[in-house]
Structure 1
Amino acid sequence: MIVPIGHSNEVVVGVDGSESAQRAVRWAAREADRRGASLRIVHAELPLPADALDMTGMARSALHDEAMGWVREAVTGALDTAPALDITYRVEVNTPAWLLEQESATAGLVVVGSRGMGGFTGLLLGSVAVALSCRAKCPVAVVRGDEAEGPVVVGVNGAPHNWVVLDRAFEEAEIRGASLVAVHAWHPPLGNEKLAESVGIVWSELHTVRDATVAQRLEACADRHPGVRVERHVVHGSAAHRLVEFAAGASLLVIGSHGTGGLRGKLLGSTSQAVVLHAPCPVLLVRPGLDEQIDHARRAG
């Protein structure tokens, strides 16, 4: 059994009654089952408008009944997927992003759908998933695209925290019994090979250097996961576009999340955001925290 990177062996999934959320529940149930983890179903009830009059409590009661109906539906879907799961739930009047962020402090993985009910109360991809990916204390999975049994795809770059992302990708491939496709995309200088060579820049030499650097990074992680078969691709072009291309038929796409929270971190980095919007498979966003980086350094040492 591989315990997911995080604070506990628990998978948390957000629900809102949408079909996207139901798909997220089934995906989360499978993830919890393959990890020997428990599943926690979370729903944020809508607050009543400030000018709403609810003297009898009927409006609040109706919203709560609706919420519990969605939770029961989610429990049924999860148990249909993995009958032996240990399931708990949390229903609270709150905003979805804030409630799931709280849960992420003790979870190993938080799962959301790619679309909610629409409007301001749903649209998970436009608000909850993006905000959560910027502030969550554990990895966040956005369930989108088709279900597939293909490889795990991971984006490789030169950022210091990419080691943590690669480690997670290796673990995801290992737990699935899948191969790992590592993709590093780069833009050659000046954008024209002849122009670059006219000023002494040789594309092929730069490509060789980048390929060697990527290989070195992968070898360091592969030593800890010897059973995972790795394909290495160093390609030209936009990282987001190439990752989406390689993710066709993949079971999971793993990338780093660079959000910092607050107004400045409201949106993901351009690559992460484009991938989450266009990926043909579920996307795992890994936002390394200090504790994860320390843990990686200890394991690597």
Structure 2
Amino acid sequence: MYREIFVPVDNSQHSDWAVDRAIEMCRRSSGRITGNHVYAARLHDVRFRQLETGLPAQFQTPDEIKRQRKIHDKLIEKGLQLIADSFLDLLGKRCEAAGVPLTRQLLEGINYEEIVNEVNRGAGRLPGLIGFDPNRAAGYDGGDKVRSDVKLGENGRLVAEEEDSAARLVGSSGRQYDLLAIGAHGLGRQQFSQLGGVAARVLRGVEKDVLIVRDQQPLTGGRFLVCVDGSSYSYKAMKSALELANQFGGSLYVCSAFDVEYHHVVFHNIKDVLSYQASKVFKFEEQEELHNNIIDKGLLKLCQANLKRAEVMAQQFPDVPLKTQILIGKPFQVIMQWAEEIKPSLLVIGRHGAHRIEDTELGSQSENLVRLAPCSVLLTGVVGVRPEDIPWIEEDGQAGLPWAPEAEVRILRVPPFAQGIARRAVEEYVLEKVGGAGPPPTVTNKWLDEAIQKLLPTHMQLIMGIGSAEEIALAEVKATEQMKATKVQGHDADPEPLAPEVETKCPVTGAISKRLRLATDPIVWTEEGWQRLQLVPLIARPLARNTVERFARNHGIWRVTTHVMDDNKQAMIEADEFDVDTMMVMFTELRAKQIRAEAEGKDALSPEMRAFIEEAKAQGVTRCPIRDIEDKMQKCPVDMKTVTPEEAKRAVEKLLQ
């Protein structure tokens, strides 16, 4: 698989482990190792010039300083080459013992820059070797151009030679590499470092595959963990993992992860801001059920398709044991958790994922895994990756339903990240109503309206822009009228008076007078608080205002500043509870659902939710952060089947005391 492997060495433990893995690979593929060490003589030259002012007086003349610079340059470079040659000597002995061909290479410059240039384009800066034996130099890239050794004059002093700076470099190798194998840390490793400085910089710039070695675990007979997300980058990683597992007699573990918790966090964040009034209008429980039935279910289907494609690829290697797993949660987090269980020898991931943004060097999930993974990591590169390099499966041949132009325009209002899932949900609804007989139906505005009414409450339709123009306009006009009653005065920085007063106007004479504020007087908003309130969508803005003002009144606050708004949000986050009125609304809705379900001879869960739970269990989903609805209902403080609404209210009031 990998036949040309580039290995930087620095005599550190991780560098030695990288050499072990490179030798192990080359023995299987009859490949070759290019052992490399980069030195930076010019950095020493800069430091020497900084120290020149401290030289003794006899060395301070311009001619003498020029002479010392020439001597120092060549002497330091000679010393650095000897050190690097010693590093490569150790590598040479190990390659010779393993029967693996080795090409020695020195590069001059900044280490990570030269490594990136060499691996990507074979364009590293090869220095002329100083005083090397021709037979020894023959093992080096550019070794056919050896420079003269450091010379001594008749007086025994070093001779300051005139050397053209361009002559110090003998060109570049022009090599094409398949893989960079590099230790995760170098000689300067610190206790809490996740990744060495050179390795961290190199992996961002290299376009080829990079093996980051963290331990001494061999590849032979090991466990290989690979992650797929539906992108062509991940399937290149899958291909590499399959070939390695086949070559080294290992087993392959394939996972696909999706994050449902983010949507729930967003909903509950909105709930915490807008409080119980919003929960009545936006019906957060219904929204959670919507995500369980549509968004989460759609993401689950995508993961199932990702793993099915991986299984299709694995058919080319029938001798490789394969285990697949769907993981639910933040991808890098759940992958780390699964890695902790299976203890892989190697984690194989793509440099980017399905959501790659142009000009980015490394995907966020990949970067987290490279830094945090407890095992070695193979980061597959971008060279040769094409968007169409995704395995075909049967589901890819299933065409969607035709859409009428007016319905197509409306569905395009859905945010891009959810558009595919929303479209599929509407099509499934239409197919469920029409049945499978006859030609495929067309999704019209009539079908879209029905599906939206079933899947989304009215206000969520309006906020998402799916409702009709008339509905949206009416809701915005109503919200604007409601907001006119808000009183805005002063700024956050204004001092608060000891005795707050309000101005009153006589309805007969029009005279203005002041009196002390009463509890019934309108709440005052500062300009800064009012501007922050404008960030809330117009349709929901009155609800947000009322929630904050209610918090202010309950705490004896008459002026809403941005600080008060922050306190309101934090208090709701910490409490994580509803008031009695909201509990009664929830009780009524749940009771109605139960009565309807019992009348139909079913349980209280919707058929869609029940099907999703069973389907997830059948697929082996074991790590789902979604709260289990059945358990939640069992923990309700009242028995909904036996109590009246009045009894439920008293029970909840007692609970909240």
Tell me the TM-score normalised to structure 1 length: 0.82
- 1:200 Cα offset (Å): 5.4
Structure with a larger share of its residues in strand: 1
Q: 2:289 aligned to 173, 182, 198, which one? A: 198
Q: 2:386 aligned to 269, 293, 300, which one? A: 293
Partner of 1:17: 11
Match runs of 1:46-61 below 5 Å? 46-49=40-43, 50-52=46-48, 54-56=69-71, 57-61=74-78
Any conservation in 1 of the 2:18–2:182 contact (CA below 8 Å)? yes
CA deviations over 1:178-216 (Å, ceiling 9, x no partner): 111111121113159977543353387346413421232
Match runs of 1:133-212 below 5 Å? 133-147=203-217, 149-188=221-260, 189-190=263-264, 197-199=288-290, 201-202=292-293, 205-206=297-298, 208-212=300-304
**In 2, Cα distance between the equivalents of 1:183 and 1:36?**
31
Any conservation in 2 of the 1:134–1:257 contact (CA below 8 Å)? no
Whether 2:104 is the aligned partner of 1:89: answer yes
For structure 1, which segment, 208-217 or 247-256, has the greater mean C-alpha deviation from structure 2 after superposition?
208-217
**In 2, Cα distance between the equivalents of 1:208 and 1:272?**
21
Q: 2:38 aligned to 37, 41, 44, which one? A: 44
Unaligned runs of 5+ residues in structure 2 are 50-68, 122-175, 269-283, 354-358, 394-657
Specify whether residues 75 and 15 from structure 1 end up closer, same or farther in structure 2 by C-alpha distance, changes over 3 A only: same
- 1:111 Cα offset (Å): 0.5
Specify whether residues 29 and 194 from structure 1 end up closer, same or farther in structure 2 by C-alpha distance, changes over 3 A only: farther
Q: 2:90 aligned to 73, 76, 94, which one? A: 73
Q: 1:223 aligned to 312, 315, 335, which one? A: 315
- 1:225 Cα offset (Å): 2.4
Partner of 1:275: 369
Specify whether residues 16 and 194 from structure 1 end up closer, same or farther in structure 2 by C-alpha distance, changes over 3 A only: farther
**In 1, Cα distance between the equivalents of 2:238 and 2:203?**
18
- 1:51 Cα offset (Å): 4.5
CA deviations over 1:272-300 (Å, ceiling 9, x no partner): 222122212110001222x34389579x9
CA deviations over 1:135-184 (Å, ceiling 9, x no partner): 32320000003515431100111323222121112112111111111111
Q: 1:63 aligned to 64, 71, 80, which one? A: 80
What SS does the corresponding residue of 2:327 show, helix, strand or coil?
strand
- 1:126 Cα offset (Å): 3.9
Any conservation in 1 of the 2:233–2:352 contact (CA below 8 Å)? no
Whether 2:206 is the aligned partner of 1:132: answer no
**In 2, Cα distance between the equivalents of 1:60 and 1:124?**
32
Q: What is the aligned-residue identity percentage?
A: 22
**In 2, Cα distance between the equivalents of 1:288 and 1:225?**
24
**In 1, Cα distance between the equivalents of 2:388 and 2:27?**
25
Any conservation in 2 of the 1:104–1:110 contact (CA below 8 Å)? no
Any conservation in 2 of the 1:20–1:115 contact (CA below 8 Å)? yes
What SS does the corresponding residue of 1:201 show, helix, strand or coil?
helix
Superposition CA RMSD, Å = 3.0
Q: 1:103 aligned to 119, 122, 127, which one? A: 119
Specify whether residues 286 and 93 from structure 1 end up closer, same or farther in structure 2 by C-alpha distance, changes over 3 A only: same
**In 2, Cα distance between the equivalents of 1:195 and 1:187?**
20
Any conservation in 1 of the 2:179–2:208 contact (CA below 8 Å)? yes
What SS does the corresponding residue of 1:116 show, helix, strand or coil?
coil
What SS does the corresponding residue of 1:26 show, helix, strand or coil?
helix
Structure with a larger share of its residues in helix: 2
- 1:100 Cα offset (Å): 2.4
**In 2, Cα distance between the equivalents of 1:279 and 1:200?**
31
**In 2, Cα distance between the equivalents of 1:186 and 1:179?**
24
Whether 2:306 is the aligned partner of 1:214: answer yes
What SS does the corresponding residue of 2:317 show, helix, strand or coil?
coil
Partner of 1:233: 325
Tell me the TM-score normalised to structure 2 length: 0.39
Higher relative contact order (CA 8 A, sep 6+): 1
CA deviations over 1:26-62 (Å, ceiling 9, x no partner): 2211121122211110111123322425422222111
Report the AA paired with residue 226 of structure 2. V
Unaligned runs of 5+ residues in structure 1 are none
